[in-house]
Homo-oligomer: A and B are copies of this chain.
Amino acid sequence: MALLDEGAKGVYVIAVTPFTEDGALDLPSTDRMVDFYLEKGATGLTVLGMMGEAPKLTAEESRIFVRRVLARVQGRVPVVAGVSAPGFAAMRELSDSVMADGAAGVMVAPPANLRTDDQIVSYYDMVARTLGPKTPFVLQDFPLVTNVQIASSVILRIVAAQPSCVMLKHEDWPGLAKISALRAASDKNGGRRISILVGNGAMFLPEELSRGADGAMTGFAYPEMMVDVWKAHAAGEVERAHDLFDAYLPLARYEQQPGHGLAIRKYLLAKRGAIASGMVRSPGSTLSAADIADIERLVARQARRLKEIN
């Protein structure tokens, strides 16, 4: 399997981790989910992300789940695995395991206690040494959740110092100026250009693509939205990209409720047949009748609007 590199583009869907109703790993659903994402046009998959409930798995479960995904994908698209961990020993163990099984790269978010620029640069230096030079990694920049703010200049320092850092999972908010700054640094100032895939549930996807993002690495129960917006944009049809985006936006916004969105996403994935159950491991939220009424209304409106514009 080819390794992840700076040229990566398209839509790397952040995969959920399917559980059975009693909370066990659901491996048959894992297969269906992989098929579903690929049918919808995913150009890559990212597993064990935050929305993949990674911290709720044991080390052994993590390995089993990644192995199952890789077996089903069979090299059709690159698979990235989140390996963020409280310590480097556990990070190395998981990274070595998934890379040996065929992952294309790994992703690392910063721990919450990092503050100064040097602390962040130094942390990713330790990450790169932990992973080793043959394991490409994605830097996840998600301050809303990690509580770590990484300046553009710090990302550039990490990119300069760590050849194995090949991608930014961009989910600072606001973050448009950051994409512009990073692209200016590589385009005008000769820095190495890495791939930038955006997160945040794709809530700013059309504008982010215009600023120079290469695609998205995030989740949504309708991943075809990201694929279609990205394709339209890549084809130069910017207004069309916005039309598609706007049709999905009311539901995408509803799914972007911190700490609650995963239950919404899994409910819809189950409804769409991608997984057997919407079960979220504890601690997690559940949907009320009012939530479901909201979702059903938004889905119906979305279907109508898509019909209008297609």
CA distance A147 to B7 in the complex (A): 39
Across the interface, do B117 and A174 meet the contact criterion of CB distance under 8 Å?
Answer: no
Question: How many angstroms between the C-alpha atoms of A89 and B281 in the bound complex?
Answer: 9
| A3 interfacial by beta-carbon distance below 8 Å | no
- Chain B residues with CB under 8 A of A56: 86-89
Given contacts A115-B115, A249-B249, A258-B173, contact A55 B283 (CB under 8 A): no
User: Interface with B: A28-36, A203-211, A215-223, A265-273, which one?
Assistant: A203-211
Is A75 an interface residue, CB under 8 A from the partner? no
A250 in contact with B253 given A151-B118, A290-B211 (CB within 8 Å):
no
Q: For residues 276 through 310 of chain A, which have their beta carbon under 8 Å from a beta carbon of chain B? A: 281-283, 288, 290-291, 294, 297, 301, 305
With A55-B87, A122-B283 already in contact, 8 other A-B pairs whose C-beta atoms are closer than 8 Å: A53-B87, A56-B87, A89-B281, A117-B118, A118-B153, A126-B283, A173-B258, A242-B301
Which of B87, B174, B260 is within 8 Å of A281, CB to CB?
A: B87
The 4 closest A-B pairs by CB, nearest first: A55-B86, A56-B87, A174-B257, A115-B149
Query: Is B257 a contact of A249 with CB atoms below 8 Å?
Result: no
CB distance from A26 to the nearest CB of B (A): 14
B123 touches A258 (CB 8 A): no
Contact A260 B174 (CB under 8 A): yes
Chain B nearest CB: distance from A226 CB in Å?
16
Measured in the bound complex, the distance between the Cα atoms of B58 and A87 in whole Å is: 8
A5 within 8 A of B: no
Bound-complex Cα distance A35 to B87 (A): 28
CB distance from A284 to the nearest CB of B (A): 11
Q: Check if A249 sits within 8 Å of B242, measured CB to CB.
A: no
| Inter-subunit contact A123/B249 (CB<8 Å) | no
In the bound complex, CA of A116 to CA of B172 (Å): 13
- State which of B89, B249, B290, B294 has its C-beta within 8 Å of the C-beta of A58: B89
| Cross-chain contact A242 with B250 (CB below 8 angstroms) | yes
Among A57, A123, A283, the one with the most B-chain Cβ atoms within 10 Å of its Cβ is A283
Complexed CA–CA distance, A57 and B58 (Å):
14
Assess A290 versus B117: contact at CB under 8 Å? Given A93-B58, A283-B126. no
Q: Is A282 a contact partner of B88 (Cβ separation < 8 A)?
A: yes
18 contacts between A and B (CB under 8 A): A56-B89, A57-B87, A57-B89, A58-B93, A59-B59, A88-B281, A89-B281, A112-B112, A115-B149, A116-B150, A122-B283, A176-B291, A203-B253, A207-B254, A210-B290, A242-B250, A249-B253, A253-B253
